[in-house]
C-alpha cells in the first residue's frame, strides 16, 4: 500500500495536534516490537503513531482511516503475551497513553478511568478510597486499564475467588471501528439484565472498537493474609489444588507456584535461603480482619493435611515482599539469560497432573530445538500452568525462534483441547486462531469473523489478529 507519510502526518495533526503525531523511525520501531521472542519485520512497522486525547479524537482518526483504508492498531502498553500487541501490517498505531484521567465517585459506587492509566497507578488511587482494583498481572507497572479490559484477564487472581475484571465493569465509552462513539451500560451499580452491549466488547481484544472511558464498580478493599508452603515436588502442589476443588474449599485470591528449578532461582535472586523443593504462595482475602484470619487459619489447616514440607502464615510484610518477589525474579532470570517460549495451559481441574506431565514431556522433547530446559510457574490455583521452554542464548536465527514459538503454541493448544481448557488468560486471537478453530465448531470462528465484518467492514482495527498472522 502506498502511503504518503508527510501527508498522513499532516492529516493526523489536524485531528490530534502536531505534537501528538510521530512518524520518525525510532518511535515507529518501538511500537513495532512486542514481548514475542522473534525479531520485528518490515510489515510490523507503523506509518505513524498518534496519541489522541479523547473519544472525539479517536473517532476522527478512525473516520479518516476508513476513508483512506489505512489499518489502525490500538496500543495500550504492548505487554500482551500472545502477540496481540504487535501490528501485523503497516498501519497507524493509536496509543491510548494520554487518556488516563481517573475520577472516583464514592457516592455513586463507581469510578471512571481513561484506558491509558497504568494499573499500578490506578491501584494506588483506588486504595486511597479504600477500594480494590480486581486485576493483578505481573506487568501492572506498565499494563494499561484499557488493555486489561480489552483482554479481560484476572492474571494472578483466581477466577473462582473473585471473577473476571469485566464482571465489575458497569459500562464504557467506546469508539466503533467506523468512528461512531457509543456509550454502554449503566450509572447504577445494578448491571443490565438481558442483552447488554457492554458484554460484547469486554474481552474483544481491540477487534471491535476502542475503549475510551471505562466505568467500574468500587469494590471495598479486603483484608489480606499470606501463606507460603514448600513441597517436595511440583506434583504435590498440583494434588493440593485438585483436593481444594474436590473438597469445595473457597480458593485463595492468589494461589501461585514455582516449580523446583524456578523456586531455587527466584529465592536466590531475592536473597532467601534455597527452598528444598517447589514453592506455593497464597493470598487469602476477606472483608473483616477476623474473617480473614479465620480463613487463613482454616486454609493453613487444609494445607497441612496434605503433604507439605512446611506451610505457614507470613505476617511480616517485608518477608512477604521477598517471597512474592521471587515469583517475578524467576521470570526475569530467564529473560536476562536467554529466551523463553511460554505456554498457558488451563486444564480441567481434575486433569492438572496429567496436563503438567504432558507439558513437561513435550517441552523437553521439542522437534524444533534440542537442549532447552523446562521451567514452570504460574497461577496454579486458577488453574493455569505456565510451562516454559527456556533456551540459554538469544543468539539463534529468527526462523528458528519462530519455529520454536510455533511448536510450543501448537503443542500447548493440543493439551488445552485434550484436557478441556481454554488457555485464555492471555487472550484468544493473534497466535491462538488455530486453537479457536480446533477447539470449537467451525461456526464459532465464522461467527467471530462475521461479527468483525459487521462492525468493521473495512477491516481497519487490529488487522491480522483475527486472521492469525504472525
Ligand atoms: C512481565 C509480564 C507479566 C504479565 N503477567 C500477566 C499475567 O499474570 N496474566 C495475564 O493475563 N497477562 C499477563 N501479562 C500480559 C499483559 O500484561 C496483559 O495481558 C495486559 O493486560 C495487557 O495490557 P496492555 O496495556 O499491555 O495491552 P496491549 O498489550 O497494548 O494490548 C492488548 C490488546 O488489547 C487491545 N487494546 C489495548 N488498549 C485498548 C483499548 N483502549 N481499547 C480496545 N482495545 C485495546 C490491543 O489492541 C491488543 O489487542 C504479562 C506481561 C508481562 C510482560
Confirm or reject: Cβ of 80 under 6 Å from ligand 1. Answer: yes
Please tell me the predicted confidence (pLDDT) of residue 308.
97
> Which atom of ligand 1 is found nearest the CA of 35?
53
Confirm or reject: Cβ of 95 under 6 Å from ligand 1. Answer: no
Average pLDDT for 94-108: 98
Check if the beta carbon of residue 258 is closer than 8 Å to that of residue 196: no
Confirm or reject: Cβ of 355 under 6 Å from ligand 1. Answer: no
With the most atoms of ligand 1 within 8 angstroms of its CB, the residue from 31, 61, 76 to mutate is: 76
pLDDT of 249-262, one tens digit each? Answer: 999 999 999 999 99
Please tell me the predicted confidence (pLDDT) of residue 369.
97
- CA 347 and chain centroid, separation: 18
**Centre of ligand 1 from the C-alpha of residue 147, in Å:** 5
Alpha helices in 195-285 (DSSP H): 197-201, 234-246, 260-270
Please tell me the predicted confidence (pLDDT) of residue 423.
84
Confirm or reject: Cβ of 211 under 6 Å from ligand 1. Answer: yes
The answer, yes or no, to whether residue 404 has pLDDT greater than 90, is yes
**Centre of ligand 1 from the C-alpha of residue 73, in Å:** 14
Confirm or reject: Cβ of 457 under 6 Å from ligand 1. Answer: no
Spatial distance between the Cα atoms of 119 and 305, rounded to a whole number of angstroms: 37
> Which atom of ligand 1 is found nearest the CA of 144?
25
pLDDT of 48-83, one tens digit each? Answer: 999 999 999 999 999 999 999 999 999 999 999 999
Confirm or reject: Cβ of 267 under 6 Å from ligand 1. Answer: no
Confirm or reject: Cβ of 206 under 6 Å from ligand 1. Answer: yes
> Which atom of ligand 1 is found nearest the CA of 212?
41
Residue nearest to atom 9 of ligand 1 (CA): 155
Strands 92-95 and 72-75: parallel
HSE-CB of 397 using CA atoms within 13 angstroms: 5
How many of the other CB atoms lie within 10 Å of CB of 323? 23
**Centre of ligand 1 from the C-alpha of residue 78, in Å:** 6
Please tell me the predicted confidence (pLDDT) of residue 35.
86
Domains of the chain, start order: 5-95 (3.30.43.10), 104-220 (3.30.465.10), 222-337 (3.30.70.2190), 339-429 (3.30.70.2740)
With the most atoms of ligand 1 within 8 angstroms of its CB, the residue from 115, 147, 157 to mutate is: 147
Q: Among the listed ranges 38-42, 276-280, 460-464, which one has the minimum average pLDDT value?
A: 38-42
Average pLDDT, the chain: 96
Confirm or reject: Cβ of 424 under 6 Å from ligand 1. Answer: no
Q: How many residues does the chain have?
A: 470
Confirm or reject: Cβ of 137 under 6 Å from ligand 1. Answer: yes
CA-wise closest residue to 91 among 257, 192, 206, 240? 206
**Centre of ligand 1 from the C-alpha of residue 248, in Å:** 32
The answer, yes or no, to whether residue 187 has pLDDT greater than 80, is yes
CA-wise closest residue to 145 among 169, 119, 175, 172? 119
Please tell me the predicted confidence (pLDDT) of residue 36.
86
CA-wise closest residue to 378 among 271, 462, 276, 263? 263
CA-wise closest residue to 275 among 322, 331, 313, 224? 322
Please tell me the predicted confidence (pLDDT) of residue 2.
86
> Which atom of ligand 1 is found nearest the CA of 430?
49
**Centre of ligand 1 from the C-alpha of residue 48, in Å:** 21
How many of the other CB atoms lie within 10 Å of CB of 54? 17
Alpha helices in 152-211 (DSSP H): 159-162, 197-201
Phi first, then psi: give them for residue 444, nearest 5 degrees: -65, -50
Please tell me the predicted confidence (pLDDT) of residue 100.
97
- Provide the percentage of residues in the chain whose pLDDT is more than 70: 100
Identify the band that residue 172 occupies on the pLDDT scale cut at 50, 70 and 90. very high
Average pLDDT for 396-419: 95
Amino acid at each position: 500500500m502506498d502511503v504518503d507519510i508527510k501527508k498522513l502526518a499532516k492529516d493526523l495533526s489536524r485531528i490530534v495536534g502536531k505534537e501528538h503525531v510521530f512518524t520518525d523511525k525510532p518511535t515507529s520501531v518501538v511500537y513495532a516490537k512486542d514481548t514475542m521472542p522473534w525479531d520485528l519485520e518490515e510489515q510490523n512497522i507503523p506509518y505513524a503513531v498518534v496519541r489522541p486525547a479523547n473519544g472525539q479524537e479517536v473517532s476522527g482518526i478512525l473516520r479518516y482511516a476508513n476513508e483512506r483504508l489505512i489499518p489502525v492498531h490500538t496500543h495500550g502498553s504492548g505487554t500482551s503475551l500472545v502477540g496481540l500487541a504487535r501490528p501485523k501490517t503497516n498501519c497507524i498505531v493509536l496509543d491510548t497513553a494520554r487518556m488516563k484521567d481517573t475520577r472516583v465517585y464514592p457516592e455513586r459506587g463507581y469510578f471512571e478511568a481513561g484506558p491509558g492509566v497504568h494499573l499500578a497507578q490506578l491501584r494506588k488511587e483506588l486504595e486511597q478510597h479504600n477500594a480494590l482494583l480486581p486485576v493483578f498481572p505481573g506487568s501492572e507497572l506498565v499494563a494499561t486499564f484499557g488493555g486489561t479490559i480489552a483482554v479481560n484477564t484476572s492474571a494472578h487472581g483466581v477466577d473462582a475467588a473473585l471473577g473476571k475484571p469485566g464482571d465489575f465493569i458497569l459500562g464504557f465509552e467506546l469508539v466503533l471501528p467506523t468512528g461512531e462513539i457509543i456509550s454502554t451500560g449503566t450509572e447504577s451499580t445494578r448491571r443490565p439484565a438481558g442483552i447488554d452491549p457492554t458484554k460484547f466488547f469486554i474481552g474483544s481484544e481491540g477487534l471491535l472498537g476502542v475503549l475510551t472511558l471505562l466505568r467500574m464498580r468500587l469494590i471495598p478493599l479486603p483484608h489480606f493474609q499470606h501463606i507460603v508452603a514448600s513441597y517436595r515436588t511440583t506434583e504435590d502442589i498440583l494434588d493440593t489444588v485438585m483436593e481444594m476443588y474436590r473438597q469445595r474449599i473457597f480458593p485463595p485470591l492468589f494461589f501461585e507456584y514455582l516449580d523446583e528449578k524456578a523456586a531455587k532461582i527466584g529465592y536466590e535472586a531475592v536473597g532467601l535461603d534455597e527452598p528444598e523443593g517447589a514453592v506455593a504462595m497464597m493470598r487469602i482475602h476477606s472483608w473483616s480482619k477476623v474473617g480473614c484470619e479465620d480463613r487463613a487459619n482454616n486454609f493453613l489447616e487444609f494445607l497441612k493435611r496434605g503433604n507439605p514440607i512446611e506451610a505457614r502464615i507470613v505476617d511480616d510484610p517485608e518477608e512477604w515482599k521477598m517471597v512474592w518477589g521471587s515469583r517475578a525474579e524467576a521470570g526475569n532470570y530467564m529473560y536476562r539469560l536467554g529466551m523463553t517460549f511460554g505456554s498457558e495451559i488451563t486444564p480441567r481441574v481434575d486433569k492438572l497432573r496429567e496436563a503438567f506431565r504432558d507439558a513437561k514431556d513435550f517441552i523437553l522433547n521439542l522437534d524444533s530445538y534440542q537442549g532447552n530446559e523446562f521451567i514452570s510457574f504460574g497461577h496454579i490455583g486458577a488453574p493455569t500452568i505456565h510451562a516454559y521452554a527456556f533456551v540459554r542464548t538469544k543468539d539463534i536465527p529468527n526462523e528458528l525462534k519462530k519455529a520454536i514459538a510455533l511448536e510450543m503454541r501448537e503443542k500447548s493448544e493440543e493439551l488445552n483441547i485434550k484436557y478441556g481448557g481454554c488457555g485464555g488468560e492471555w487472550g484468544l486471537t493473534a497466535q491462538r486462531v488455530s486453537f479457536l478453530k480446533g477447539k470449537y465448531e467451525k461456526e464459532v470462528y465464522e461467527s467471530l469473523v462475521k461479527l468483525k465484518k459487521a462492525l468493521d467492514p473495512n477491516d481497519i482495527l487490529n488487522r491480522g489478529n483475527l486472521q492469525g498472522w504472525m
